[in-house]
Structure 1
Amino acid sequence: MLIAGSRAERLPRTVWWLVLARAINRLGAFSVGFLTVLITTEFGVSAVAAGVVSAAFGLATIPSRLVGGVLADRLGRRRTIVAGLAGCALAQAGLAVSGSVAMAAVFAVLLGLVFEVYEPPSQAMIADAVRPERQAQAFSLFNTALAVGGMGAGLIAAGLGRWDLRWLFVADAVSCLLCAVVIRLVLPADRPAPATSRVSGTGSAWRDRRLLVLLLSGTLFAVIFMQVGMAMPLVLVARGLEAADAGLLSAVAAVVMVLCQPLLRWTAALSHHTAMTCGYLLLAAGLAGYAVSDGLPGHLAATVVWSAGDVLMFGRSYAVVVDLAPPHARGRYLSVFGTCWGFATVLAPLCGTQLLERAGPEGLWGVLALTCLLLAAAQLTMIKPMLERQGRTL
C-alpha cells in the first residue's frame, strides 16, 4: 500500500479545492488589464480619462482586502469567499453591459471594492486547515495557482479580445460565479469567532508593531516583484528585444514555480526567517542576472533563479503572519499584510519608470537586486530578533 497516497493527499482537501478555485478564477481574471482599452474604444474618451477610471479601480482594491479580512472573522471564511466572488461577477457583468463612461466608472469602482475580498478568507481557511509546519507549502501552492492560471488567461484574452472586448468581462463574470459555486458546494462550512473574541480583537492588527514591520518589508518585496511584470517589456525593448518576450518569461516563471513545489519539503526544516533570507538571496541573484543580460537566453536563466527564490519565500511570509495572529483574528492580520500589494500597485510604476529613465535597465535591476540583499540582511539581523523579542513581551 502506498504511504499516505499521492502528494496531493499530503495536504488537506480544503487546500486543493481552494487552489483549484483560485486557478479557475485567475483563468478568467484577465479583463481588468483591458479596462482602459474598453473605455477608450467603446466610448471614445481620452486615454487620460480612462486612466483615471483604472486608477480608481486600483485604489478601491486596498479597502477591499481589509473588508475581506473583517468579514472573514465575523461572518465566516466560506461565506465571505462566496460573497466576494459573487460581487466580482456582478461588477464584471456591469462593465460588459455599460453604455456610458459614468456607468463603466461606477462598476469599475464596485469591482475594486470586491476584487480582493476573497483573498483574506481563502488564506485564513488554509491557515485553519493546515498544520503550522505545512502552512508555508500550502501558501506557496496557493500562489502558484495564480501563476498557472495566468498562463492560460493570456491565451483566452488573445482569442476573446480579438472578437469583442466586452466578452472578456463576460468570461470573467462566469469564472467568478463558477468559483463561487465550487467553494459553496465542496468546502466545509465554518463558524465565525465568538462575539467576545471579535470585539477583543477589533483593530489589534493595526496596533501590532510586529505586523507593521512585516507590512513594510512585504511592500518592498511586492514593489520589486511587480517590476518584473511592469518594467520588463520596457527593458526588453530598450535592449533591442521584443516586448512580447515578457510573456515567455512569465510562462517560464510559472513553470518553475510548479516544478519547485516538491522542493519545499526539503526546506521544511528551515525556520521561516532562514528560508526567507535564502529566498531574498535568490531573488537578488536573478535580478542581478537581468542587469548583466543582453539577450533572451540570459533573461530566461535569470527568470529561473528568481522564480525559485519566490517559491521559497512567498509562502513563508504568510506563515509568519499566521504565527503572529490570534486564531480569531487571522483574517484581519492577513488582510492588513496583504495591503502591501495595494501599496505596491501605486509605488511600483513610479519607482520603475524613474529608475529606468535615470539609470537604464542595468541600474533598475541593480538597485532592485541590492534592495533584496538589504532585505535578506534585515530578515535575520533585525526582523527576526524584533519579532522574537516583542513576542515574548505580549
Structure 2
Amino acid sequence: MNLSSPRLRLLATAMTLDALGSGLFGPFGLLYAHEVAGLPLAVAGAAIGVAGTVALAAGPLAGALVDRLGPARVVVLANAVAVLGGLILLTARDLWVFSLASVLGVASARMFWSSFAPLVAAVTADRAERWLGYLRSARLAGVMLGGFAASVVLTLDRHHGLIIMLAVDTATYALAGVLTTVATAALRRTIPSASTAPPGRTAASAHTGRASYRTVLRDRALLRLTALNTACTLLVSAPVIAMPVYLIDSVHGPAWLPGLAAGLLTGLVALAMTRTPHLTRGTGRLRVLALACLLWSAGCLLFITAGSSPVPAALTATMVLALAQAFYEPTADAVPLALAPPHLTGRYTAVYQLAWGVSSALAPLLVGTLLSINPAALWITLAAIAATTAVAYHRTGAHLTHRVGHSGASLTFG
C-alpha cells in the first residue's frame, strides 16, 4: 500500500473519528456518572476503577484474536464493543448498568491498542513506523478536536450536553468501524493468521499449537522490554497528571498555564510524530528509545526551574517532553512487532501493551505522594527513572538489536 493509497487515507480518517469520540466524551465519564446516571462521585469513581481493572483482561484476549482472526477484524470488533458500551451507558441510571458500560468501554480501548500496531504493520510493511507516527498524529488531532467541541457543548447545557456528547461518541465509533472495514477489505489476504506463514517463514513457525501465551512469556527479551516500556509509559502519563497541581499550587503560576501546557504538549506531539520516523530511519530502535528517555529526563528537570519563572520554564519543559514522546511512540509500537514470530504478533503486542495499564495505576499514586512530600522530588524522581531507563535501553541494545532491528526496517508482515 503506497503513501497515496485512498485506503490508507481512509484508515487515517477512521482513526481520527475513533479518537474524536474519545476526546469528546472520554474525560467526562465521572461527571456523566454523577450528573446523568445519578451516582455519588465516590461510588462512580470506584466503579470506574474496578471496571479498568476487570477490563485489563481484554488486552490478552484481543492479542489471541489478532493471531487467529487478523488485526483488522479485532480493530473493528473493538469499535463494536465501544458502540455497545455507549448504547448501554446512554440507558445507565444505576450502578450495575453504569459498571457494565464502563467495563465495555475500557475493554474496547484495550482491544484497540492490542490490535492497532499489528494492523498498521500489516498494511504498511517496511514503512510501519512512518505510518504509526501519522496515524497516532491523526488520533491526537481527533482528541484535540473532541476536547474543543466538548468545551462548546458543555457551555450550552451540562446535563443534555453530556448525553449529546455520549451519543456522538458512540456514533463516531460506529462510523470508524465501518471505515476500517472498507479500508481493510481488500487487504485481508495479506494479513497472516495463526494458520498461515508469510513468505520467508517456515510452516513450523506458524503452527497453531505454538500460538499460546506460555510461549510468549518464555521470551525474556519481551519481558525485559515490557518492563522498560512500563517506565516509559509512566513518563508519558505522570507529567500530565502533575502539571495542573504543580503549576498552580506549587509554583503559583497563572490559572491558564496548565491548560496551555497540556494543549501545547498534545499539539507538538501530533506535529512532531509526522517527522520523527524520518529522522530516526536506520537508527537502532532501542537507541531511539534511549534518546527519548534522555529527553524526558531533561524535560522533567526543567520543571524544577518553574519556581522563579513559571510560564517560560513550563512551556520549555513541555516542548522537550513533547519531543521525547514523539520519538518514543512510533518506535515503541514497533518493538513487539519486531520481536514477535508472525503467528504471535497479537499476543506479543498485548503483553507489551500491559505497560500502559500498570503505569496508569502507578502514576496517580506516585504523583500524589511525591508532590505532597516535596514538589521538586517528583521531577527529580521522574528524571532519574528516565535516565536509568535510557542506560538500560543502551545496554539492552547491545544484545537485542539483532532482534529489535532499526527504525524503518521491515516488521513481521514485511
Q: Which runs of 5+ in 2 are unaligned?
A: 197-205, 405-414
CA distance in 2, matches of 1:273, 1:316: 8
Contact 2:136 2:270 in 1 (8 A): no
- Displacement after TM superposition at 1:138 (Å): 2.5
CA distance in 2, matches of 1:389, 1:25: 35
Question: Are the structure 2 counterparts of residues 120 and 43 from structure 1 closer, same or farther at C-alpha, using a change threshold of 3 Å?
Answer: closer
Contact 1:12 1:130 in 2 (8 A): no
Deviations 1:150-179 (CA, angstroms, capped at 9, x unpaired): 211211221233422222211110110010
CA distance in 2, matches of 1:82, 1:253: 29
Question: Are the structure 2 counterparts of residues 273 and 86 from structure 1 closer, same or farther at C-alpha, using a change threshold of 3 Å?
Answer: same
1:214 aligns to what SS in structure 2?
A: helix
- Displacement after TM superposition at 1:9 (Å): 5.2
- Displacement after TM superposition at 1:111 (Å): 2.0
Contact 1:198 1:329 in 2 (8 A): no
State the percentage of identical aligned residues: 23
Question: Are the structure 2 counterparts of residues 81 and 199 from structure 1 closer, same or farther at C-alpha, using a change threshold of 3 Å?
Answer: same
The aligned residue for residue 377 of structure 1 is 391
Task: After superposing the two structures, state which structure 1 stretch, 53-62 or 322-331, moved more.
Answer: 53-62
**Are positions 1:309 and 2:324 aligned together?**
yes
Question: Are the structure 2 counterparts of residues 245 and 219 from structure 1 closer, same or farther at C-alpha, using a change threshold of 3 Å?
Answer: same
**Are positions 1:213 and 2:224 aligned together?**
yes
Which residue, 151, 155, 169 being the options, matches 1:158? Answer: 151
Contact 2:80 2:174 in 1 (8 A): yes
Contact 1:144 1:254 in 2 (8 A): no
* Length-normalised TM-score, structure 2: 0.85
CA distance in 1, matches of 2:247, 2:322: 18
Which residue, 360, 373, 383 being the options, matches 1:345? Answer: 360
The aligned residue for residue 333 of structure 1 is 348
CA distance in 2, matches of 1:228, 1:54: 22
- Displacement after TM superposition at 1:376 (Å): 0.8
The aligned residue for residue 113 of structure 2 is 119
Which residue, 148, 161, 178 being the options, matches 2:141? Answer: 148
2:283 aligns to what SS in structure 1?
A: coil
CA distance in 2, matches of 1:373, 1:217: 12
User: What's the C-alpha RMSD, in Å, of the aligned pairs?
Assistant: 2.3
**Are positions 1:107 and 2:101 aligned together?**
yes
Contact 1:136 1:319 in 2 (8 A): yes
Question: Are the structure 2 counterparts of residues 379 and 12 from structure 1 closer, same or farther at C-alpha, using a change threshold of 3 Å?
Answer: farther
The aligned residue for residue 407 of structure 2 is none
The aligned residue for residue 4 of structure 1 is none
Which residue, 150, 159, 181 being the options, matches 1:184? Answer: 181
* Length-normalised TM-score, structure 1: 0.89
Which residue, 235, 252, 255 being the options, matches 2:267? Answer: 255
The aligned residue for residue 245 of structure 2 is 234
Contact 1:11 1:130 in 2 (8 A): no
Structure 2 counterpart of 1:118, which letter? F
Matches within 5 A, 1:45-124: 45-124=39-118
The aligned residue for residue 319 of structure 1 is 334
Which residue, 17, 23, 42 being the options, matches 1:24? Answer: 17
Contact 2:285 2:401 in 1 (8 A): no
Q: Which runs of 5+ in 1 are unaligned?
A: 1-7
The aligned residue for residue 194 of structure 1 is 195
CA distance in 1, matches of 2:113, 2:363: 21
Contact 1:89 1:177 in 2 (8 A): yes
Question: Are the structure 2 counterparts of residues 75 and 264 from structure 1 closer, same or farther at C-alpha, using a change threshold of 3 Å?
Answer: closer
CA distance in 2, matches of 1:257, 1:42: 34
Structure 1 counterpart of 2:326, which letter? V
1:241 aligns to what SS in structure 2?
A: coil
2:171 aligns to what SS in structure 1?
A: helix
Task: After superposing the two structures, state which structure 1 stretch, 63-72 or 238-247, moved more.
Answer: 238-247
CA distance in 2, matches of 1:252, 1:364: 21
Contact 1:288 1:366 in 2 (8 A): yes
- Displacement after TM superposition at 1:210 (Å): 0.8
1:45 aligns to what SS in structure 2?
A: coil
Which residue, 275, 278, 286 being the options, matches 2:291? Answer: 278
The aligned residue for residue 167 of structure 2 is 170
- Displacement after TM superposition at 1:13 (Å): 5.7
**For this pair of structures, how many residues does the alignment match?**
381
- Displacement after TM superposition at 1:300 (Å): 1.1
Contact 1:96 1:167 in 2 (8 A): no
CA distance in 1, matches of 2:100, 2:297: 41
- Displacement after TM superposition at 1:16 (Å): 4.1
Contact 2:296 2:324 in 1 (8 A): yes
1:99 aligns to what SS in structure 2?
A: coil
CA distance in 2, matches of 1:199, 1:46: 49
- Displacement after TM superposition at 1:60 (Å): 3.2
Deviations 1:22-48 (CA, angstroms, capped at 9, x unpaired): 221111113232222222223543321
- Displacement after TM superposition at 1:221 (Å): 1.1
Structure 1 counterpart of 2:248, which letter? V
Question: Are the structure 2 counterparts of residues 12 and 227 from structure 1 closer, same or farther at C-alpha, using a change threshold of 3 Å?
Answer: farther
Contact 1:210 1:390 in 2 (8 A): no
- Displacement after TM superposition at 1:59 (Å): 1.4
Deviations 1:300-337 (CA, angstroms, capped at 9, x unpaired): 11111121121112222222221110011111111110
CA distance in 1, matches of 2:339, 2:361: 27
- Displacement after TM superposition at 1:347 (Å): 0.8
